[in-house]
């Protein structure tokens, strides 16, 4: 006996279909066309905007309140050396590694 009801399985399948179609339809419609330069330029800002949207609250409002206290907001302080590593090395792996290492170090020192 499965723990899922028929409605749950149908809902999961419907969500999978919507997710799949939302990726495939634009690919099929735009794969043989060249986009105008202005649209390519506009689309190039989407990854940066999404990253800022995801990181902003984590770095500046960790518990819904602005704080730069190192024990309450280790992510902000770990982001600074990670940012420096990104600027200096332009290497994604080293940047992520630096951020993880400094987050772990700060948590260890403030525990």
Q: What is the mean pLDDT of the chain?
A: 91
Q: Which pLDDT value is given to residue 11?
A: 93
Residue 49 lies in a domain: no
pTM of the model: 0.62
Indicate whether 73 belongs to any domain.
yes
102 is a domain residue: yes
Q: What pLDDT score does 106 carry?
A: 94
Percent of the chain with pLDDT over 70: 98
Tell me whether residue 46 is in a domain. no
CB contact at 8 A, 67 and 42: no
- 77 SS3 class: helix
Task: Give me the pLDDT at residue 2, please.
Answer: 61
Residue 77 is assigned to a structural domain of this protein: yes
Burial, 60: exposed, middle or buried (Cβ in 10 Å; 0-12, 13-18, 19+)? middle
Give the range of the structural domain holding residue 91, as residue numbers without chain letter: 56-110
16 found inside a domain? no
29 located within any domain: no
User: What's the domain count of the chain?
Assistant: 1
- Taking every pair of C-alpha atoms in the chain, what is the biggest distance, in angstroms? 56
* Nearest CA among 42, 44, 49, 72 for reference residue 60: 72
Question: Does residue 76 lie within any of the structural domains?
Answer: yes
């Amino acid at each position: 006996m499965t723990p899922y009801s028929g409605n749950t399985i149908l809902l999961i399948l419907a969500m999978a279909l919507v997710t799949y179609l939302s990726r495939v339809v634009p690919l099929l419609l735009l794969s043989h066309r060249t986009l105008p330069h202005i649209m390519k330029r506009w689309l190039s800002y989407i990854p940066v905007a999404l990253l800022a949207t995801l990181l902003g609250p984590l770095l500046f409002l960790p518990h819904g309140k602005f704080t730069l206290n190192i024990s309450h907001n280790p992510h902000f302080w770990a982001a600074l050396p990670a940012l420096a590593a990104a600027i200096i090395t332009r290497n994604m792996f080293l940047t992520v590694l630096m951020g993880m290492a400094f987050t772990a170090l700060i948590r260890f020192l403030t525990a």
